[in-house]
């Protein structure tokens, strides 16, 4: 019984991080993926915040799934997500005020991040607590993974630093465009290109046949 649960959890986790990655497979949650990724430290905090919100929302929605009337489930989900986001916002303001300012409105915008609502609707609503928890962590990690990769390149090429520390050799001229909006779009587009070249979704191929 325990082995079965473990295998299932691993599958859910792997799915959330790679096969069904919310950002480059499902194309969700793009907004923040582009906005905060010009610095690694901001991206890290954003990623952790999202993992927290999506996991806790998933768990809460799962716990309440049997008593929540279907008609109002969207409102309930929004309420739950918004509450956790406020909690994160308060914590950031209290303990990491500089980063909180740098992230600005994008912390609040986690509420409209399609990933969270998507996971609540698609998974947490119909599953028990533990798998919902794993799914939340997985989707959040998948998201964080993409963001951190993009931020890695944007900060490296745009500022020559990683997490604020100079890394590039002295002669390097910063590609300022990387830290501006167009750079974000190009990076994400390139990322999707590379990932999709590496391996098409199994289902897509099946459907084609």
Q: How far apart are the first and last CA of the chain?
A: 37
Distance CA 80, CA 60 (A): 8
Number of neighbouring beta carbons within 10 Å of residue 47: 23
* Helix (DSSP H) and strand (DSSP E) numbers for the chain: 9, 2
Of residues 173 through 192, those in contact with other proteins by CB under 8 A are 174, 176-177, 179-186, 188-189, 192
Site mask, other proteins, residues 142-171, x = CB under 8 A?
----------------xx------------
Closer Cβ to other proteins, 9 or 161, answer by number: 161
Q: How many CB atoms lie within 10 A of CB 189?
A: 10
Site track for other proteins across 49-88, x = CB under 8 A: ---------------x--xxx-xx--xx-xxx-xx-xxx-
If you count them, how many residues does the chain have?
209
Q: Taking the complex as a whole, how short is the minimal distance between the CB of residue 196 and other proteins, in angstroms?
A: 3
* Structural Rg of the chain based on CA atoms: 18
Pairing, β 165-166 against β 161-162: antiparallel
Structure tokens belonging to residue 97: 């005020």
Say whether residue 94 binds other proteins (CB under 8 A): yes
Residues in contact with other proteins by the rule CB under 8 A: 27-28, 30-32, 34-35, 38-39, 64, 67-69, 71-72, 75-76, 78-80, 82-83, 85-87, 89-91, 93-95, 97, 101-102, 104-105, 108-109, 111-114, 117, 158-159, 174, 176-177, 179-186, 188-189, 192-197
């Amino acid at each position: 019984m325990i082995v079965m649960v473990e295998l299932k959890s691993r599958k859910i986790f792997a799915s959330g991080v790679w096969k069904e990655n919310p950002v480059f497979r499902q194309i969700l949650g793009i907004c923040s993926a582009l906005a905060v990724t010009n610095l690694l430290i901001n991206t890290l905090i954003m990623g952790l915040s999202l993992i927290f919100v999506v996991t806790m929302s998933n768990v809460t929605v799962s716990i309440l799934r049997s008593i929540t009337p279907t008609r109002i489930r969207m409102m309930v989900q929004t309420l739950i997500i918004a509450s956790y986001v406020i909690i994160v916002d308060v914590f950031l303001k209290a303990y990491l005020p500089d980063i909180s300012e740098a992230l600005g409105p994008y912390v609040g915008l986690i509420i409209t991040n399609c990933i969270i609502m998507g996971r609540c609707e698609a998974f947490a609503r119909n599953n028990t607590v533990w798998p919902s928890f794993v799914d939340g962590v997985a989707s959040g990690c998948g998201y964080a993974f993409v963001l951190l990769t993009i931020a890695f390149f944007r900060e490296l090429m745009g500022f020559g630093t990683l997490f604020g520390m100079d890394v590039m050799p002295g002669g390097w001229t910063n590609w300022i465009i990387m830290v501006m909006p167009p750079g974000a779009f190009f990076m994400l587009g390139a990322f999707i290109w590379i990932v999709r070249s590496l391996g098409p979704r199994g289902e897509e191929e099946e459907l084609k046949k």
